[in-house]
Chain A
């Protein structure tokens, strides 16, 4: 029974990883700009993520090490410092974007500017981590996060052309505005395949004391959890395509995106959108803050654990405290939340190789993966992802400049 409940780890990883501001923004822009043509990057990202998350869980269950711990263990500090520094910087930007998203959700509901909400949001997140054990993040976020199902309801009510939707599952050439098309592809992939998910998930597995008996449930969780997020992102795209594409609207701010559900669901739609945006972003904030604290502590050899009392893991707590203290300021200073989001997705895509390349070694090394080293499918997916990540790394900045919203 306990193992089934671990499905919540998958769902929360998914909500915080998928239905957060980057996915909502890029899926909305994709639907508005290209109708159903851009469903395929969401599908691709989801499939890649399923494999990567499954590997993170398998690594944790077999070696009892998290991804960062295994990286330091196997490659040494000399290598580890590179992902530690680059990913921390990029993840900080993602965190700022999520704070912006949550703050904006509050602006939608209260009318008070998002700039005032940034600090309270960060404080709330800090307080949840300070007081709550891992179970709070793992159980409550998915429960409240079920509100995001509203996107599926909305998409269904809009009665899309399912034939066109199915068509969008496969890559097609953009009918117009090539640079913007590929820019969105990069953003969607960067929003979907976020490395912090793997650090969070493997740490959650170790906190949950997984062992080899969890391998099957891990596969189930990876598939169901990530698919849940993927389906939600596609629903956002569909709703946006139905509402914004016919009008030829280019989405420049969250105000506009928020109108997506008012068609099918009336004013309820507006508030439910705000609630979904808020919980998705809050989930992401919690996950990201924990992921950085995990990555730093595990890599540098500090004691860690969200289930531990703060006094026993002081440096771990210090990391997420400092991170959350620094998080709101870009938003407070008035930087556009959508711009921060876009930049953070692009940089995530650019730094993916750094995060993914260690996987090919770790998951084939029996010292860490035991008897459960990657099969050929897993290796093909990882190699494909590395190649894709390297291409993304090269094209992302030029695309950001050429095709950026």
Chain B
């Protein structure tokens, strides 16, 4: 599997076929001389802003940490939840209950629902 070509930035679909965001980042670990393992998918938070170069990235990350829903902490999901890798990545998670849609729910509850006629 090619990480950049096949996984990074690709769409995530949850267990009920709902759109769940995109793979914004991946986490790799290794202990000592062990072979490195990619264990976690990251969505949202400062993951994207930290991919921006130089001071833009730092400012962006600072803004997201200050005003973001989870103070910039991204939603993390273990790789073991992945059911299928295709052009989209299907995962065994319920997006609405998992916390992945936290900022979407916040906008819905604090802004959309307050507009008359919602």
Contact = CB atoms under 8 A, between A and B. Distances in A.
Q: In the complex, A touching B, CB below 8 Å?
A: yes
Given A131-B117, A311-B118, A76 B9 contact: yes
Given A72-B9, A314-B111, A303 B51 contact: no
Contacts of B28: none
Nearest to B103: A315
Interface in B65-113: 87, 103-105, 107-108, 111-113
Nearest to A131: B117
Contacts of A300: 22, 48
Contact of A301 (B11, B51, B115): B11
Q: Helix, strand, loop or mixed for chain A's interface?
A: helix
Contact of B104 (A73, A130, A315): A315
A314 B109 CA distance: 9
B104 A77 contact: no
A72 B22 contact: yes
Contacts of B87: 63, 73, 367
Interface residues of B, number: 27
B52 A81 contact: yes
A310 B22 contact: no
Nearest to B106: A314
Interface in A315-371: 315, 317-318, 321, 367
A318 B105 CA distance: 12
Interface in A280-328: 300-303, 310-311, 314-315, 317-318, 321
A81 B12 CA distance: 19
A140 B82 CA distance: 43
A301 B107 contact: no
Contacts of B19: 301, 303
B8 A76 contact: yes
A314 B107 CA distance: 6
A177 interface: no
B64 interface: no
Contact of A311 (B8, B11, B18, B108): B108
Interface string B22-51: 101000000000000000000100001001
A367 B4 CA distance: 14
Given A81-B52, A302-B21, A315-B107, A310 B9 contact: no
B60 to A, nearest CB: 10
Contact of A314 (B24, B48, B112, B117): B112
Q: Which of A301, A310, A315 has the most CB of B within 10 A?
A: A301
B58 interface: no
A287 to B, nearest CB: 22
Contacts of A63: 87
A308 B107 CA distance: 16
Given A77-B51, A300-B22, A314-B111, 4 more contacts: A76-B4, A81-B52, A301-B24, A367-B87
25 contacts: A69-B11, A72-B9, A73-B9, A73-B10, A77-B51, A78-B51, A130-B115, A131-B117, A301-B11, A301-B12, A302-B21, A302-B104, A303-B18, A310-B112, A311-B108, A311-B112, A311-B118, A314-B105, A314-B108, A314-B112, A318-B107, A318-B112, A321-B111, A321-B115, A367-B87
